[in-house]
């Protein structure tokens, strides 16, 4: 699942809202995850290849909201979750002081 501040790429445009990529999971699971996210964040469902977009859905950026969603996804869909955060203009000294892992 992804949420980019500047939108998720769709051809030459960017789509605002939550998106997720799926690969090697059943259509039933994709549909269940899509419904779960749409019910939670709203938006218009759009699909392209192995990507589902919730155009103009609500977005979350607060650490607690992101962590709570990861736990909820893990529990509801019985999957392991991994959080990745991309920080723009984050210098090496800032990274060292933050105690965040390097990759």
What pLDDT digit, counting tens, does each position of 56-81 carry?
A: 999 888 888 988 999 999 999 988 88
The structure's pTM equals: 0.80
User: Is the residue at 27 inside a domain?
Assistant: yes
Mean pLDDT of the chain: 88
C-alpha dihedral sign at 83, 87, 92, 96: negative
Which residues, 6+ apart, have CB-to-CB distance to 53 below 8 Å?
8, 10, 15, 17, 18, 19, 43, 45, 46, 47
User: Is the residue at 3 inside a domain?
Assistant: no
User: Is the residue at 32 inside a domain?
Assistant: yes
Q: Which domain holds residue 68?
A: 8-98
User: Is the residue at 23 inside a domain?
Assistant: yes
Tally of structural domains, the chain: 1
Overall average pLDDT of the 89-102 stretch: 80
User: Is the residue at 2 inside a domain?
Assistant: no
User: What is the per-residue pLDDT for 34?
Assistant: 96
User: Is the residue at 87 inside a domain?
Assistant: yes
User: Is the residue at 22 inside a domain?
Assistant: yes
């Amino acid at each position: 699942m992804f949420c980019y501040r500047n939108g998720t790429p769709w051809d030459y445009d960017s789509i605002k809202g939550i998106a997720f990529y799926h690969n090697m999971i059943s259509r039933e699971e994709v549909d269940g995850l899509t419904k779960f996210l749409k019910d939670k964040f709203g938006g218009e469902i759009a699909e392209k290849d192995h990507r589902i977009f919730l155009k103009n859905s609500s977005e979350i950026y607060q650490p607690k909201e992101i962590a709570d969603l990861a736990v909820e996804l893990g529990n509801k869909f019985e999957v392991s979750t991994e959080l990745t955060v991309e920080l723009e203009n984050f210098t090496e000294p800032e990274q060292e002081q933050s105690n965040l892992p390097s990759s």
